[in-house]
Amino acid sequence: MLFLQALVLFNVICVSVFSLLQDPAPLQRRLPQDDGEEDEGGQDDSARTTTIKGKPGVGRTTTIRAPPTTLTRRTTVTVVKASPTPAPKPGGGKGPNSQCPQEWFQISKELDVMFVAANACTKDAHAAIRAIFHDCFPQGGCDGSLTTKEEMARPGHGPMAGTLDKLKALAQKYRVTNADMLAFAGSHAVVSCPGGPVIKTYIGRKDANRAAPEGQMPPHFALAADSVAAFRARGFTTQELAALMGAHTVSRQFDVNVQRRGASQDTTPDVWDATYYVQTLLGTAPFTFESDMNLGRQEDVGPWMSQFATDKSTWDRVFSQAMTKMEFLGTPGQSAMVECTDALPKGKTAPQLAKRLTSVEQEQLRNLNFTLPAR
C-alpha cells in the first residue's frame, strides 16, 4: 500500500516538472519584484529605466520592449536630447560676420536725413566732415573733446556748432560716446556726398573730460613746410596729406573772409569730385585758403594734388585709407574696436570730372610738369 502511494506521488511530480518545462510563465509570475512599481499596463512585472546622458536639455522617454524570451523583463530607456546652444546676440551688420551694434544702423538712418539732399550733401554733412579733422588731429586724438563747451567756443568752430549740437543729442539718444558719434558721422557724411568713398569705420572710443590744447590745427595761412611737418608728426605721408586736403571739395569758408561768408572752395561744393584740385592748382576756385595754395606749390605735395586732379579713383582710395588712419588717432587700436562700416550707406556715383574739364584746363594741368615724389 505504501509502495503504491509513493508511486502515484512520483508520477504527479514528473507531470508537474514536464509542464513547467513546456510553459515557464507561472514561474515568471512568482519571481520577486525589483522596484514594486506597476508598468504602463498595470501588470506586476517590474521595469528597469536606463538613461542615456547628454547635454542638459529637454528629455524624451522611450520604452523599448525586448523580444519575448524566458525570464525577460521590459526595459525603459530615457533619451536626453541636448538643448541647442543659444546663439550670441547678433549685431546689426549686413555681412555674416558683422558685430556692429544695432544702434549704429538706427543712427545711420537718422544721419541720412541730416546729410542727404537731392543729388547733394547738406551743410550738416560739410560740418561733420570738418568736425572729424578738428576732433581727431589735436592732442588726444578722436576723443569727442570738440563737443566740450570750451572747444566749441573757440574761433573758427562757430559754424559747426549747430551740427555738433545735433550729433551730441543723437549720441545721448542712443547712449553712445560723442567720440564715436563724431567719427561715424564724419565717415557717413563723406559717403553721403555724391561720389564720396566708403571709409572703414570703427567704434569703441572713450570721451575726454576736458578740451584739447588750443592751436594744434595748421592755420589757414600755414606755410607748406609747417603743414607737412604737422601731418608727419601724426604719421601721415605727403601723399596722404594731399588726399586729405581734398575734403575741401565740399568745404565753405565762414571766418577767414567775413565779407565772403559761405564761399566754397570749388564750383561743385555739394558733390565729392576732383574739381577742388583742378581749381586750386589753376587758381580758378571761388575761394582758396592760403595754406592750400602753398601746398599746391610744394615739391612733395603738389605732384600728388596734380595726379588726383585727373585720377579720382586713386584719390578716393588714398583718402579712404588716410581717413581711417585719422579716425584711429588716440584710440586703443583696431583690435580693441568693432568695425561698423556695414552701417554706412552705399556710395552714390558722381559725374566724371573729365566731362567738366575744358581743353584749356586740361592743357594747363599738363603744363604744371609735376614729378611725383617717392612716398
- End-to-end CA distance of the chain: give it in Å, rounded: 132
Q: Say how far residue 244 (Cα) sits from the centre of its chain.
A: 23
CATH of 103-366, one of 1.10.3210.10, 3.40.30.10, 3.90.209.20, 1.10.520.10: 1.10.520.10
- Under the banding of pLDDT at 50, 70 and 90, the label for residue 37 is very low
Q: Is 157 a catalytic residue?
A: no
Does 141 count as an annotated binding residue?
Answer: yes
Catalytic residue among 134, 157, 188, 220: 134
Parallel, antiparallel, or unpaired: how do β-strands 202-203 and 252-253 relate? unpaired
Task: Note the pLDDT tens digit of each residue in 346-362.
Answer: 887 776 665 677 888 87
* Beta carbons of 274 and 306 less than 8 angstroms apart: no
Does 268 count as an annotated binding residue?
Answer: yes
Average pLDDT (132-155) is: 96
Does 16 count as an annotated binding residue?
Answer: no
Average pLDDT (159-175) is: 97
Whole-angstrom distance, CA of residue 49 vs CA of residue 62: 10
Task: Note the pLDDT tens digit of each residue in 219-253.
Answer: 999 999 999 999 999 999 999 999 999 999 999 99
Q: Map out the domains of the chain as residue ranges.
A: 103-366
Q: Answer yes or no: is pLDDT of 28 > 50.
A: no
- Residue whose grid cell is 592750400: 292
Average pLDDT (260-267) is: 95
Does 124 count as an annotated binding residue?
Answer: no
Average pLDDT (260-283) is: 95
Does 59 count as an annotated binding residue?
Answer: no
Which pLDDT belongs to residue 353?
Answer: 62
Q: Answer yes or no: is pLDDT of 20 > 60.
A: no
Whole-angstrom distance, CA of residue 248 vs CA of residue 313: 17
Whole-angstrom distance, CA of residue 89 vs CA of residue 99: 9
Does 249 count as an annotated binding residue?
Answer: yes
